[in-house]
């Protein structure tokens, strides 16, 4: 079965040299198998699939609607994108805060976590909260030791408060910052020490800075995601390929039949090479962009499975809170 798939990949690559992607309509091989009912724990599936959901636009429960033919979820991890790293000044001292914007607040606060976090977890999916700087001239590379400890305390508190499975870092949009050597790695190390066993720390491999994450800190990361496209180069120290996603796919794009086939080939190749993850971002409602064919190609290449969609078109059915919600260090340490 896999030998046939690899042969098809070679034929597709040869055809691509003769005709353009716009003209090519590569035939998809029919590799459907009789479904086998089985159960699978989170640790059993390799590579794992992470789907980032931009909660400003999309209901995260849509990510849980895609199911493999074995009855388990296509996604292993759903990242709520994103909460923000903000700051406050207390007695003249800058302290980090965690800000949930108007769309994120009621996904987690006021009982929202019982629907949107627990709803995905009931399907065996891990739910991670992505943290993103917010143009306030502070990011993960600019924290002194005290600030790193404060932020790690806040993030561990949020994981416990909302029943999350972990925290993800994406170091974009920090503004003008003064780098502190080892800041990012220090934050990762402190957060790992504060989280219970089994919780996840993920990282989008972008703007990680120079001399920021050493091998000791990198070894504490569960998953690191490539900066868009297909890239097997791991620039984060201490990260092995078993914890790396070389394939990152924008689900907001339109893909031709040829491109969909190629993503299946990539999924096959990275699986055979021992890479541990595949990342998707910018999930849309099916009425905006239906990527079921893409998911089927990837599932076929990686695990020889098929994918169906239970819904995928859920609206944003929660109430927005215009002021958002801020978690301060004082709140995180009050209990």
Helix/strand/coil (H/E/C) assignment for every residue in 145-195:
HHHHHHHHHHHHHHHHHHCCCEEEECCCCCCCCCCCCCHHHHHHHHHHHHC
Q: Choose between 214 and 5: higher pLDDT.
A: 214
Looking at domain 44-332, its CATH class is: alpha beta
- Taking the C-alpha atoms of residue 292 and residue 296, their distance in angstroms, rounded to an integer, is 6
27 is written with which tokens? 């035939």
pLDDT score for 44: 78
Q: How many CB atoms lie within 10 A of CB 133?
A: 25
At 330, is the pLDDT very low, low, confident or very high (cuts 50, 70, 90)?
Answer: very high
Question: Could you tell me the two tokens for 304?
Answer: 């020889």
Query: What is the predicted pLDDT for the residue at 28?
Result: 39
Q: Which one-letter DSSP state was computed for residue 39?
A: -
Q: Which residues contact 173 (CB under 8 A, 6 or more apart)?
A: 132, 133, 134, 135
Instruction: Show Cβ contacts of residue 213 under 8 Å, excluding neighbours closer than 6 positions.
Output: 184, 185, 188, 236, 237, 238
Greatest alpha-carbon pair distance for the chain in Å reads 68
Q: Tokens for 179, please give them.
A: 């780098």
Domain boundaries, the chain: 44-332
Each residue of 250-264: pLDDT tens digit?
999 999 999 999 999
> Which pLDDT does position 25 carry in this prediction?
36
pLDDT more than 90, % of the chain = 86
**Does residue 237 sit in helix, strand or coil?**
coil
CB 153 within 8 A of CB 329: yes
* Per-residue pLDDT tens digits for 172-211: 999 999 999 999 999 999 999 999 999 999 999 999 999 9
Cβ-contact 203, 238 below 8 angstroms: no
Residue 56: what are its φ and ψ, rounded to 5°? Answer: -65, -25
Residue 277 in contact with residue 49, Cβ under 8 Å?
Answer: yes
DSSP code at position 299: H
CA 166 to the chain's CA centroid: 11
Q: Which residues contact 68 (CB under 8 A, 6 or more apart)?
A: 74, 299, 303, 305, 306, 307
For the chain, the average pLDDT equals 91
What is the share, in percent, of the chain residues with pLDDT greater than 70?
87
């Amino acid at each position: 079965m896999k030998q046939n798939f690899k042969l098809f990949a070679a034929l597709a690559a040869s055809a691509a040299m003769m005709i353009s992607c716009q003209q090519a309509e590569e035939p998809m091989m029919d590799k459907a198998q009789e479904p086998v009912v089985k159960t699978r724990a989170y640790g059993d599936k390799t590579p794992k699939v992470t789907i980032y959901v931009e909660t400003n636009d999309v209901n995260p429960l849509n990510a849980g609607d895609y199911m493999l033919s074995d009855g388990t979820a296509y996604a292993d991890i759903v990242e709520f994108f994103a909460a923000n790293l903000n700051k406050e000044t207390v007695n003249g001292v800058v302290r980090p805060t965690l800000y949930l914007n108007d769309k994120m607040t009621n996904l987690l606060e006021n009982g929202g976590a019982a629907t949107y976090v627990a709803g995905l977890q009931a399907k065996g999916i891990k739910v991670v909260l992505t943290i993103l700087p917010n143009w306030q001239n502070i990011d993960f590379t600019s924290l002194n030791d005290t600030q790193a400890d404060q932020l790690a305390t806040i993030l561990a508190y949020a994981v416990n408060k909302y029943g999350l499975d972990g925290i993800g870092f994406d170091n974009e949009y920090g503004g003008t910052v003064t780098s502190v050597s080892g800041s990012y790695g220090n934050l990762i190390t402190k957060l790992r020490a504060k989280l219970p066993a089994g919780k996840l720390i993920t990282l989008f491999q972008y703007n990680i800075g120079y001399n920021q994450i050493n091998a000791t800190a990198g070894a504490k990361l569960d998953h690191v995601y490539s900066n868009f496209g297909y890239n097997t180069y791991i620039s984060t120290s201490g990260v092995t390929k078993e914890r790396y996603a070389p394939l990152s796919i924008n689900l907001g794009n339109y893909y031709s039949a040829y491109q969909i086939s190629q993503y299946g080939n990539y999924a096959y190749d990275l699986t055979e090479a021992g890479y541990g993850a595949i990342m998707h971002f910018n999930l849309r409602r099916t009425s905006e962009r239906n990527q079921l064919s893409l998911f089927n190609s990837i599932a076929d290449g990686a695990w020889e499975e098929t994918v169906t969609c239970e819904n995928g078109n859920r609206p944003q059915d929660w109430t927005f809170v215009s002021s958002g919600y801020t978690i301060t260090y004082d709140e995180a340490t009050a209990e």
